[in-house]
Every structure is written in C-alpha cells, then in structure tokens.
Chain A
Amino acid sequence: DIQLTQSPSSLSASIGDRVTITCRASQSISTYLHWYQQKPGKPPKFLIYHASGLPDGVPSRFSGSGTGTEFSLTIVNLQPEDSATYYCQQSYLMNSFGQGTKVEIK
C-alpha cells in the first residue's frame, strides 16, 4: 500500500499569510495526487486535482505542485474561511489519504 505523510500535522498562521503543506508518498505516484479541505461536521471539499489542477469555483489563492513523491499545497493571502483540515489523497495505486493538516487562524 502507498503511504502518504503530510507535514506539518497542524499550523497556525495569520490572515494574509502564505501557508504551505507538504505531502510525501512512499513511492512514486506521478501526479495522481489530489487535495481536499474539510471543515468540522462537513464532508471534504475537492480542492486540487492531479497535483496542480484547480477545479471550477476554487479560489485562485489555492495552488498545488509536485510530482513523483513530493507534493505541496500552498495558500496565499490566507483568509478566515481557510481554517480547516487539509488532506492529500493518491489514486495511483488503489487510493489512500494523508493523515491531515489542521490550519488554524491566529
């Protein structure tokens, strides 16, 4: 099974900050890496597809990059509504999720 390790597990940042979350895969997964945002009591929301694709309706302050085993999600100009837990997911071999990164607003 492919393991995904996210770092950090949590972070606290201020409004307007730039935030980067990393996701590392235990083997190469090309760009079969996607990101989701989840707020308490809600289902996850689709955020980034295939490492860097931005779905319709997702604000452009969200971006993704990476290939192989190293990926990142970046939020620029952090907003209050970005307070959430973020998960990476691989679909290269079966599926699996990272353990999540909780983003809090200072």
Chain B
Amino acid sequence: QVQLVQSGAEVKTPGSSMRVSCQASGGTFVPSTITWVRQAPGQGLEWMGSIILSLGKPKYAHKFQDRVSLTADKSTTTAYMELTGLTSDDTAVYYCARDPNETGTLDYWGQGTLVTVSS
C-alpha cells in the first residue's frame, strides 16, 4: 500500500518561507512524479508544480514559479516543497500526490499540511 506522509502543520509570519516534506513508502516501486496541490480555506484545488523523482526535474505553475522550489531525495523517496515570500493568501492546506505514470493522474495523496500565515 503506497503511503505519502507529509510533515506537520506550521504557522509562519508574512515574508518568511515554508518547507513541507512528503515521504513516499509502501509498494515495490518508487513514485515517478510527485505533484503539489494547495487548497485555501473553503476554496478549490490549485496545482503548484510537479517533480520527476528520478530526474529531480521540476515544473512549476506560472503563478508560483518565482517563489516555489521543488526538490527530491531519491534515496529516501522524499519530496520537498519550499515557498518563499509568504503572505496571508498562502494560508492553505498543501497536499502532495503521486503521479505513477507521468501522465498527470494523481492516484495517492498525502494527508495534507496546514500552513497558516499570520502576523
């Protein structure tokens, strides 16, 4: 059973940075791509970017490309998402999800990490 376990909730101040981790376990294969999606309170899903684990090659949504950095550690099958220049608009639940075939389908999701940006 594939599991994606994310780091815990955080409270950040405006202008600071956040870093969320996502460790994959279970199954007999490494997930090929990890995608990050966020959801502001009461709002819909927003794609932030994806990273191919084997290549460490990220792609970013235009909206976030100046502020987000996706990295991955193959040895621990852990992906990281860093977002800088935080504002209150970045308050959201951040999810990682697995794309097993690099076609965009997200079959397993992490539990979500709530990040609150507040002064």
Contact = CB atoms under 8 A, between A and B. Distances in A.
B44 A91 contact: no
B104 A100 contact: no
Contact of A91 (B45, B95, B104): B104
Question: Which of A32, A92, A95, A96 has the most C-beta atoms of chain B within 10 angstroms of its own C-beta?
Answer: A95
Contacts, number: 61
Interface string A28-64: 0000101010100001111001100001000000000
Given A43-B95, A43-B112, A98 B107 contact: no
B109 A34 contact: no
A44 B105 contact: no
Which label, helix, strand, loop or mixed, suits the secondary structure of the A interface? loop
Nearest to B35: A95
A22 interface: no
A44 B97 CA distance: 9
Interface string B86-113: 0000000001010000011111111110
Give the bracket for the number of chain B residues in contact with chain A.
20 to 34
Given A43-B111, A43-B112, A95-B50, A32 B44 contact: no
A43 B109 contact: yes
Contact of A34 (B62, B95, B106): B106
Contact of B62 (A1, A55, A89, A100): A1
Counting from the closest, the 6 A-B pairs by CB-CB distance are A91-B104, A43-B109, A95-B47, A97-B45, A49-B105, A100-B44
21 contacts: A32-B104, A34-B105, A36-B45, A38-B45, A43-B95, A44-B95, A44-B109, A45-B109, A46-B105, A55-B107, A87-B44, A87-B45, A89-B45, A90-B104, A92-B104, A95-B35, A95-B104, A97-B37, A97-B44, A98-B44, A100-B45
Interface of A: 1, 32, 34, 36, 38, 43-46, 49-50, 55, 87, 89-92, 94-100
